[in-house]
Each structure stands twice: as structure tokens, then as C-alpha cells.
Amino acid sequence: MDKYEIIYKDIKENHYETIVEKVFDKCFEEEGLQDSKLYITVTFTNPENIQSINKEYRNIDKPTDVLSFPMFEKEELDKKIQENDFFCEDVLGDIVISIPKVEEQAKEYGHSFERELSYMLVHGFYHLMGYDHIQEEDKKEMRAKEEKILKALNILR
């Protein structure tokens, strides 16, 4: 069973599946979820669509790079993982990524498109896992997890 579903919304289909598979395989492995029946829906879209979603769900009327919509609270997910309570197929959550924003940020930060897209996927994954970066301590924990995945995949800045 695939760990993800990819949707292209108002952008040309591309070959991002290889990156998505590599990143999510490592994320699932790192979090001990490789045998779970959890999966993620990833939507690749444009700035207009992500702005509309951002406005509708977060009341922020501007485009962004990535949005994550987890299906579980962190405590609920931690408990399910601890008890290995994934008997049926279940959605971990949805990630929406603006491909033009990924391209723009890759140029801005001086690294590859693959690196920027991989970071967005890992970042979105850890939001689905219940991590956040509002408080400095939480941000440090989330960033360490993200960097560990990217380093393990040899996807460096």
C-alpha cells in the first residue's frame, strides 16, 4: 500500500513522486510507522489555490508555501503509535504545497528544487505528526527532526 496520494490542482503534472516516496519512506521509518496503514494526501498547486485555502481555513488572505491539515491531535497520535493501533487504513493528514513558491524559495535560498520540495514535505509531515514551531522549544525539536531526515537522505543545503 502506498503511504501517499498525489493530487495536481491547476498545475502541470510532474515527476515529484520519486521525491515524495523517498522523503515519506524515510519519515515513516524514522517515526516507526512503516508498518502502519497511515497515508498522506499531497496536493501540488499554485499560489492562487493555496491562498484561497489559507484564507478559508486559517483566515490569512495570502499565499504561502505549505499547509498541513493533521487528522489527529499529537497526544492521540502518540497513543495510537504506542499501542500500534493502526488496524485499518487511516489518513494521517493532508499537505498542500505551492510549487511556484517552492521554485522561488529554492532560488532565494540558493539550493536545489529537490531540496526545497523535500523540506516542504518533511515540514508538512511533522506538522501532521503534531509538531509545531510557534514556541522556540517546539521549533528546535521540529527543526532537529526535519534536519535528521534530510541529512539521512543526503539532501543538503
Global pTM?
0.93
Across the 157 residues of the chain, what is the mean pLDDT of every consecutive 10-residue run? 89 92 95 88 97 96 96 86 71 96 96 96 96 86 95 90
Write down the pLDDT at residue 136.
Answer: 85
> In the numeric block, which cell numbers belong to residue 41?
494526501
Residue 44: inside a domain: yes
Residue 117: inside a domain: yes
Write down the pLDDT at residue 44.
Answer: 98
Write down the pLDDT at residue 122.
Answer: 97
Write down the pLDDT at residue 87.
Answer: 58
Write down the pLDDT at residue 78.
Answer: 83
Write down the pLDDT at residue 29.
Answer: 94
Residue 157: inside a domain: no
Query: Contact at 8 Å (CB) between 73 and 35?
Result: no
Residue 12: inside a domain: yes
Residue 135: inside a domain: yes
Q: How many domains does the chain have?
A: 1
Q: What is the CATH number for 56? A: 3.40.390.30
Write down the pLDDT at residue 2.
Answer: 76
Write down the pLDDT at residue 113.
Answer: 95
Write down the pLDDT at residue 1.
Answer: 57
Query: By residue range, what is the domain housing residue 74?
Result: 4-152
CB-based burial of residue 77 (10 Å sphere; 0-12 exposed, 13-18 middle, 19+ buried)?
A: buried
What Cα–Cα distance (Å) separates residue 29 from each residue in 1, 3, 107, 113, 154?
15, 11, 30, 24, 16
